[in-house]
Amino acid sequence: MSPIERHKKEKGDLRRIILSAAREIFLEKGFDQTSMRTIAQNIGYSATTIYLYFKDKDAILYALHKDGFDILSRQMEVLIHVEDPFERIKAMGRLYLHFANEHHDYYDLMFVQKAPMDSLNGEHETWKEGQSSFDALRFSIQECMDKKLLLFKDADAGAYLVWSTMHGMCTLYDRGRCKVLDEEKRDLIVDLAFNEFISLLEAFRA
C-alpha cells in the first residue's frame, strides 16, 4: 500500500470511528448532549481533529442521517420487483414501519430532528436523500393513478398524504405517545391501524 493509499484509508477509518462514536452518544444521551467535545473524548482525539473531518455537529448528524437513508434504500430496493403498484405501496408502508421500529436513532435523525437539515444551507444544496425516497413513493402513486388503482387527483399530494400518515404513526410510537393505548395490545393496534389506513386508500380505487 502506497503512502497516499494508506493516508486515504486512515482518513476513512477515522471518519467512520467519529460517526460511530457520535451515533453511540446520540443513542445514549440524546441530541443535546452530542457535542464535538464529547465525541472527541469518546474516541481519544482532540476536538480540533474532529473539525478536520466535519465542520460542526450538524454535519456529523447529516452524515449519520445519510447512513440511515442508505439502509432504508437498500431495504426498499427489493420492492422494485413488485409489479402491482398498489401492493408495492402497501409493502413500502410496512417496511417503513419496521425500519422506524428497528432503527429508532436513524429514523429520528432522518425525519424528526431539525439539525441535519441545517446542513442544507451549507455544503448540501438540496435534500437528495429525502427527495429520492419521496420520488420512489410518488412514482408508485402515479403508476396507481395511471392504472386507475387510485383516484388521487395529484401524485405529489397523494404521496405526501401517504408519507405524512406513515410518519405520524411511526413518530407517535417512537416518541412514546402510544402509551395511551392498551400496553398488551399496543403493537396489534398499530398493525390494525395500518390495515385501516390501507382500507382507506382502497376506497380511492376506481
Cβ atoms of residues 37 and 97 within 8 Å: no
Q: pTM of the predicted model, to two decimals?
A: 0.84
Contact partners, residue 202, CB within 8 Å, separation at least 6: none
Cα–Cα distance measured from residue 35 to residue 150, given in angstroms and rounded to the nearest whole number: 47
What are the start and end residues of each CATH 1.10.357.10 domain in the chain? 56-202
Q: Give per-residue pLDDT as tens, 89-116.
A: 999 999 999 999 999 889 999 999 888 8
Coil vs helix vs strand at 183: helix
Residue 77 C-alpha cell reads as: 430496493
Cβ 166 vs Cβ 96: under 8 Å: yes
56-202 is classed CATH 1.10.357.10 = yes
CATH topology of domain 1-54: Arc Repressor Mutant, subunit A (1.10.10)
pLDDT in tens, 14-68: 889 999 998 888 878 877 788 899 999 999 998 888 999 998 888 898 999 999 9
